[in-house]
Each structure stands twice: as structure tokens, then as C-alpha cells.
């Protein structure tokens, strides 16, 4: 079990053989399958499909597919359990599922393997960063690279006692689902962004800026405003054509606007006139009092 734990914590690099060890008997069986596949013509597509499935089974389990294997729970013999996980790459072709599963410097995948005690490998088309090397491996005809002809998927495998192996795979299936959600702003993405900020602050700032630009509202006019402008332009009459509309003058004449300084000027004159009248009246009353 210690050897298995060391194998689990390793993350395969690009081009590195990430399948199980194949013994001499299984390798001989693979050679025979490849030879028969080469002799088959296009008239037997079902036979070719069965050979492909047998080759894939040997590359996945490392054993020759033969008799049915039973789980020995009495003696608790370790078994190898493998499960493929679907990745919704066709539904969300622009989302980088591989980057989210790997995390910064592959730390997310490494922690996931250590926590679930399972070996988790990303396989399928576009699973290797170097596209040229992936194309060479795909065209090499090596059965170990046959998975590159399929869509992107995740393979979870472990070696343990029967009950323990199924428990590990079940736990890994529940945890891997968090990394298959196409959301760049969920808890997993935020945790990866904080980790990337500690490792490489410059890359973290660029990543956060790109996410903000995608979520920010556009600064230009809305589609509705553009539609209104276009409709108004279509309905606008031609300036060269004479308009047949009749214009009527208003019946009530317009009042002339009096400037503010003239209004204040007249008000001041009226105030002085009243003041003079008041003084004259006061003088006359005083004179009458003196005479009496």
C-alpha cells in the first residue's frame, strides 16, 4: 500500500506514460491485438471496435481481459478500481476545465489526489498542453495513447480493499464535481486565485482582470438604443422633398420681454415720486397747524 500511495501523489507530465504497468503477458496480448487490427479490412467495423475496446481495457487495468474477477472480501485482497468521468466540454467549449482541475502549478489536483487517495488523470483530446506533441502521440498508433482520440475525460483509479476502493472512488467523484462547474467566480476559483496571488502576483492580477472584463457591463450604447436610432433614421423624411405641412400663426400675440434693469428703474422712480408726495403733504399739514 505504501507503493500505491507514492504513485498516487505523482502528477504525470506531458508525454509521460500515465497508465498502469503492463506485464509481459499483457504486452504480448496487445501486440497480437494490434496485428489482428492491421489485418482487418473495412468490411468488419464491429470486430475493429471490439479490438479497440480490448486494447483500451488492457491499457486501463494492465491486465488481460479474461475471466470475471470477484472481490474477495473474506481475505480482503486489494483490487484496482477505475472510473471514467465525463467532462462537459461540448456544452461549454470555451471553458478551461483542464486548468481548473490542475490549479496553480498543479496544486489543486495534487491535493485532490492526496485527500481522496486516488489517482486522478486527465485524458482525451486537448489534455496535453503541447498540441504538436499531442498530435504526434495520437498518430503514433501506440495503444497507450489511444485515449487522445476521444473527448476530454477524467480517469479516477485506486488500489485498496474492495470496500475501501469503492469508498475512495465515491469520495473522489463527489469532490471532482466541484472542479467541473463552469464558473470562474465560485469558491474553488476564488481559492485558486488567492493561491496564485501568493505564488505569482502578476499572473493573478492578469487573471482577475480578464474575469472582471468578461463580467463587466459594456460601456457602449445598448442594443435597444441602437435599434431606436436606426428606426428613427428610417422614418426621417428626406430633406430634399418639400414638406406639405401647413404652419399657423398663433392668435395671441407674443408679449415683449421687459429687461430686468428697466423694471427696477421704473420701480425706483415710483418710489421717489411717492416719497415727494408724502413730504409735501407733511409740510402742508404743519403749516396749517402753525396758522391755527
Q: List, for residues 150-163, the tens digit of each pLDDT value.
A: 889 999 999 999 99
- Higher pLDDT among residues 144 and 85, named by residue: 85
Q: What is the predicted pLDDT for the residue at 165?
A: 95
| CA–CA gap between residue 292 and residue 276 (Å, rounded) | 25
Confidence of residue 3 (pLDDT cuts 50, 70, 90): very low
Handedness of CA 61, 64, 70, 72 (dihedral sign): negative
Q: What is the predicted pLDDT for the residue at 152?
A: 92
Please determine, for residue 28, whether its predicted confidence score (pLDDT) is greater than 90: no
- Over range 238-258, report the average pLDDT: 51
Q: What is the predicted pLDDT for the residue at 148?
A: 85
Q: Which of 65, 61, 228, 87 is nearest to 152 (CA)?
A: 87
Whole-angstrom distance between the N-terminal and C-terminal Cα of the chain?
140
DSSP character at residue 43: T
Cell (9 digits) for 165:
476502493
- What is the distance of C-alpha 76 from the center of its chain? 44
- Higher pLDDT among residues 210 and 184, named by residue: 184
pTM of the complete model: 0.55
Confidence of residue 199 (pLDDT cuts 50, 70, 90): confident
Q: Which of 96, 101, 105, 126 is nearest to 116 (CA)?
A: 101
Q: What is the predicted pLDDT for the residue at 144?
A: 76
Amino acid at each position: 500500500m505504501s507503493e500505491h500511495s507514492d504513485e498516487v501523489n505523482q502528477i504525470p507530465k506531458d508525454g509521460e506514460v500515465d497508465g498502469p504497468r503492463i506485464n509481459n503477458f499483457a504486452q504480448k496480448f496487445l501486440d497480437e491485438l494490434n496485428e489482428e487490427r492491421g489485418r482487418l479490412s473495412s468490411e468488419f467495423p464491429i470486430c475493429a471496435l471490439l479490438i479497440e475496446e480490448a486494447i483500451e481495457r488492457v491499457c486501463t487495468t494492465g491486465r488481460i481481459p479474461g475471466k470475471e474477477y470477484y472481490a474477495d472480501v473474506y481475505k480482503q485482497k486489494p483490487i484496482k478500481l477505475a472510473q471514467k468521468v465525463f467532462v462537459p466540454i461540448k456544452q461549454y467549449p470555451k471553458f478551461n476545465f483542464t486548468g481548473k482541475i490542475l490549479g496553480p502549478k498543479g496544486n489543486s489536483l495534487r491535493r485532490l489526489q492526496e485527500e481522496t487517495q486516488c489517482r486522478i488523470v486527465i485524458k482525451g483530446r486537448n489534455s496535453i498542453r503541447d498540441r504538436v506533441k499531442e498530435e504526434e502521440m495520437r498518430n503514433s498508433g501506440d495503444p497507450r495513447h489511444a485515449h487522445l482520440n476521444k473527448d476530454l475525460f477524467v480517469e479516477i483509479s485506486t488500489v485498496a480493499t474492495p470496500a475501501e476502493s469503492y469508498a475512495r472512488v465515491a469520495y473522489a467523484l463527489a469532490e471532482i464535481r466541484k472542479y467541473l462547474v463552469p464558473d470562474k467566480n465560485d469558491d474553488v476559483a476564488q481559492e485558486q486565485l488567492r493561491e496564485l496571488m501568493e505564488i505569482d502576483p502578476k499572473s493573478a492580477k492578469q487573471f482577475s482582470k480578464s474575469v472582471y472584463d468578461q463580467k463587466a457591463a459594456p460601456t457602449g450604447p445598448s442594443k435597444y438604443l441602437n435599434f431606436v436610432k436606426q428606426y428613427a433614421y428610417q422614418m426621417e423624411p428626406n430633406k430634399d422633398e418639400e414638406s406639405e405641412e401647413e404652419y399657423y400663426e398663433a392668435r395671441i400675440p407674443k408679449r415683449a420681454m421687459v429687461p430686468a434693469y428697466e423694471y427696477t428703474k421704473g420701480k425706483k422712480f415710483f418710489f421717489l415720486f411717492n416719497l415727494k408726495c408724502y413730504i409735501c403733504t407733511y409740510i402742508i399739514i404743519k403749516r396749517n397747524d402753525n396758522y391755527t
